[in-house]
């Protein structure tokens, strides 16, 4: 469900809002967020060391990005689609 929402938001951002590049980040100790990003077509771009602080503890953030020219990610049971033109 989360990856579908992320895919929908990305498509809106590209098609309706006219954005070209989207970025997202998550703490490296959150593998579920990493799976959502990947399923939504976001590619891993790198690690931002000690970017976030919660309760006095610093956390690394893995950064992902998706471009308007990237192919649409496949949904469960469906093949991937080329980007909208």
| Domain boundary assignment for the chain | 2-67
List pLDDT tens digits, range 2-61: 888 999 999 999 999 999 999 999 999 999 999 999 999 999 999 999 999 999 999 999
pTM assigned to the model: 0.79
Scan for tokens 């909208």, then name that residue.
84
* Res 83: pLDDT: 64
Instruction: With CA atoms as reference, report the closest residue to 44 among 71, 25, 72, 60.
Output: 25
Furthest-apart CA pair in the chain: how many Å?
Answer: 47
CATH 1.10.3720.10 fits 2-67, yes or no: no
């Amino acid at each position: 469900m989360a990856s579908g929402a992320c895919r929908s938001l990305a498509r809106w951002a590209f098609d309706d809002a006219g954005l070209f590049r989207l970025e997202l980040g998550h703490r490296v100790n959150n593998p579920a967020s990493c799976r959502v990003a990947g399923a939504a077509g976001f590619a891993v771009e790198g690690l931002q060391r000690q970017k976030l602080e919660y309760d006095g503890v610093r956390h690394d953030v893995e950064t992902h990005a998706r471009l308007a020219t990237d192919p649409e990610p496949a949904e469960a049971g469906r093949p991937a689609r080329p980007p909208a033109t």
